[in-house]
Chain A
């Protein structure tokens, strides 16, 4: 070895040879560093949306992110408080919690110049509800009268083309008639499935999908499917929430570790999902530029209430006992590095007190208490067959770690190595099929990401008899009655109180064990300021300042 030439220098020399030899080719590699940052434009990580980007067909966070930038609906959730505020709606009125009259604000347009009218909404909703269009979010329209005609439960041919509950009154007014009383219904209208659509969507659908046109603060400049979407601020946007930056480039990353590495190397400005492996170092890497705040996501262990070994009030003690045997505080700290918070009710902190979040509602049943847990389980005759499994899907989300930890906790309490074991299922699809086919033989993992920040959304779809996401098939007449009453209430206060009463039934029956609330996490570069996440753990792009 020659002396005197430092190692790094030699590597640099070798590399510069490599770079020179590649100059003839289209090359941007050897510079490193800026990665083509445009002034005023945010470079943000993105995941390839699994479904086509249509409002009523997008049910994932990544697609929702785009819709949130290019669309504005009747309501919009305040990114700070989660409160549903009027966006395009001027007034939403009802005297009976069932018939609503919606009046739009004046002067709102789509980015192609077309006016946003009452028909823009009615046509979009009719499109989304109709079974022929196979929209994933069709069920969001199920409370509107006539849904069963355009979307027959049998999957057969629809007997109507439009929802009978929707009527256009004039250019800025339309009415909605629901199938039941639903006092918080107007507050659900901030969800992406309810945004208006321009004529271009219906006239040239393929072209629209290639370059969506909306009415929000951003416009799509170009969309290379599977790799990058470039959004630019729409100068003519008439709303009050104009973009404070020039635009956003959403880049598809296949692995959030690479996105994080790119952030460190200065090729990316914003990652909204810090990989688990980096959580240990993220504070020292990013300091204040790391965000970790509650999102509207709760994880539970749900019991198969169709299985006699687990069901019925007689086994309520058993279910509560298992809940008390889980050391939530330890697991959230050791496995999730504080990015999750032990759950003490069935909603989420993002609802805040005003919205119905009531920490501690679960009471002693959600507190780690080995002695009482052992007593309760013993009193219920022990675990069915002496053992239990926790089913989870092994393909995504690294659920194995925490499932093993939960089982460990239960095993320690029961002083047996084999009382609880994890039961992995290969793929998420298979997992869902087992759930739908009522093939679960013990508690299984369930996660719920809210559609809108309302207590109703955390309870009704999950625990109401026959509800769409009631995977444990829990059914309790008392619970159903309280939910119905809450929906019929004419004011927020009584409605929320009603839902909380229903939640107390969950605490007594424990059809699902609340485990923890999930936080959203994000990291950003020095170029950005005013970065915040909303309750859906999506960055509030329009408010971010660059430079």
Chain B
């Protein structure tokens, strides 16, 4: 297990370098960002040249990249155009999005797995069909629609929640946005769990457990669910990274100043330090979540062992 983990950690290095370079290259390819700093007015060439020099934008791409990576390894993520260090932006944005993701994941796990188990055990019956229909609806409604509709209903019409989240973004205010963010994944979790339960319900070890005369809840939770969770855990693991990066829409609707917001601003203003810095962290989150998922396999299914 230890060697396996170490090998996986070492594998992350080339992935990390490759992905940061790709992002760097893509932001760079968008063109010279300095011109946009001056708004609708034409930039003064002398000032623009000075800013370009200060930001290393007058160097060729590979030198910019080396300079940037050198900075990262000394813990400095560069400066956004409005003069704030990117690390400061991260410190304010990541905790907020982390809380939001947490709400979304807890919501999709709790509700999704419950619904999936219930409909899987009652395959083909009324509950199963209605859950399937419901998930179909949820999957087909895009986040910006469900977000604005729920925001309007809860925030304006009924006045039960604030339509926007305050800068401190306490957990309570993140409930509604978290649910919106988790909705689509909820549908997938439900369907995955259901299919997996249906498949495993006929497995030999379940039949053995039934034959042994174990109580039904014990069969379901200890035997059936534990093995059925493997694809679900895989999905949720990758979903954590996707949710953090994909919160752009939800964060915009509910005015949450998290990772999505900073990424959006960074892209709009073509601020490569912001974009690359944030995506770098997201890449690390993604890689770690994947590693965690792989390690969890062994916990869930004793037949899986890592050398």
- Interface residues in chain A, defined as those with a beta carbon under 8 Å from any beta carbon in chain B: 8, 12, 15, 18-19, 22-23, 25-30, 32-33, 35-36, 48-52, 59-60, 131-132, 134-136, 138-139, 151-155, 209, 224-228, 251-255, 257-259, 261-262, 264-267, 395-396, 426-430, 432-433, 435-436, 446-449, 468-471
Chain B interface extent, by class: 35 or more
Given known contacts A29-B161, A30-B160, A432 and B166 CB-to-CB distance under 8 angstroms: no
Please determine whether A436 and B89 come into contact, CB atoms closer than 8 angstroms: no
Which of A18, A32, A259: most chain B CB closer than 10 A? A32
Contact B172 A396, beta carbon cutoff 8 Å: no
B47 interface neighbour in A22, A23, A136, A228, Cβ under 8 Å = A136
Quick one: which of B207-250 are within 8 Å of A by CB?
Answer: none
For B41, B151, B154, the residue with the greatest tally of chain A CB atoms inside 10 Å of its CB is B41
User: With A30-B161, A32-B159, A436-B35 given, is the CB distance from A227 to B82 under 8 Å?
Assistant: no
Task: For the complex formed, measure the closest distance between the CB of A159 and the CB atoms of chain B, giving whole angstroms.
Answer: 13
Q: List 25 A-B contacts (CB under 8 A).
A: A18-B175, A25-B171, A27-B171, A28-B166, A29-B162, A29-B172, A36-B166, A49-B82, A51-B82, A134-B47, A138-B47, A151-B47, A153-B46, A155-B46, A225-B82, A252-B257, A255-B253, A262-B255, A265-B159, A266-B159, A267-B162, A427-B36, A427-B268, A446-B40, A469-B42
Q: Are A26 and B171 in contact (CB under 8 A)?
A: yes
Q: Are A471 and B42 in contact (CB under 8 A)?
A: yes
Rounded to whole Å, the gap between the CB of A545 and the closest CB of chain B is: 25
Q: How far is the CA of A266 from the CA of B160 in the complex (A)?
A: 12
Residues of chain B within 8 A of A51, CB atoms compared: 37, 81-83
Given contacts A27-B172, A48-B82, contact A433 B268 (CB under 8 A): no
List the B side residues contacting A255 at CB < 8 Å. Answer: 252-253, 255
**A-facing mask of B20-42, CB < 8 A → 1, else 0?**
00000000001111111111111
Interface with A: B48-56, B113-121, B194-202, which one?
B48-56
Pick from B38, B161, B268: contact of A136, CB under 8 Å = B38
Q: Is B164 an interface residue (CB 8 A)?
A: yes
Chain A residue at minimal CB-CB distance from B92: A226
Complex CA gap A227/B46 in Å reads 32
Secondary structure call for the A interface: loop
Q: Is the CB of B35 within 8 A of A432?
A: yes
Distance in Å: Cβ of B144 to nearest Cβ of chain A: 10
B264 at the interface (CB under 8 A from A): yes
Contacts A253-B164, A436-B35 aside, 16 further interface pairs with beta carbons under 8 A come to: A19-B172, A27-B172, A28-B162, A29-B176, A33-B159, A131-B47, A258-B254, A259-B164, A261-B155, A261-B163, A429-B36, A430-B32, A435-B42, A448-B40, A469-B41, A471-B42
Residue B18 at the chain A interface, CB threshold 8 Å: no
Min Cβ gap A153→B in Å is 6
Residues on B facing A (Cβ under 8 Å): 30-47, 49-51, 54, 81-84, 88-89, 92, 148, 151-152, 154-156, 158-164, 166-168, 170-173, 175-176, 251-255, 257, 261, 264-265, 268-270
Minimum CB–CB distance for B277 against chain A, Å: 15
B287 CB to nearest A CB, Å: 28
Q: Is the CB of A27 within 8 A of B35?
A: no
Known: A30-B172, A155-B49. Contact between A52 and B82, CB under 8 A?
A: yes
A50-B37, A254-B261 given; A265·B162 CB < 8 A = yes
CA gap between A447 and B39 in the complex, in Å: 10
B173 touches A447 (CB 8 A): no
Name B160's contact: one of A12, A59, A153, A396 (CB within 8 Å): A12
Which residues on the B side are within 8 Å of A254 (C-beta)? 251-252, 255, 257, 261, 264-265
Is B84 in contact with A261, judged by CB distance below 8 angstroms?
no
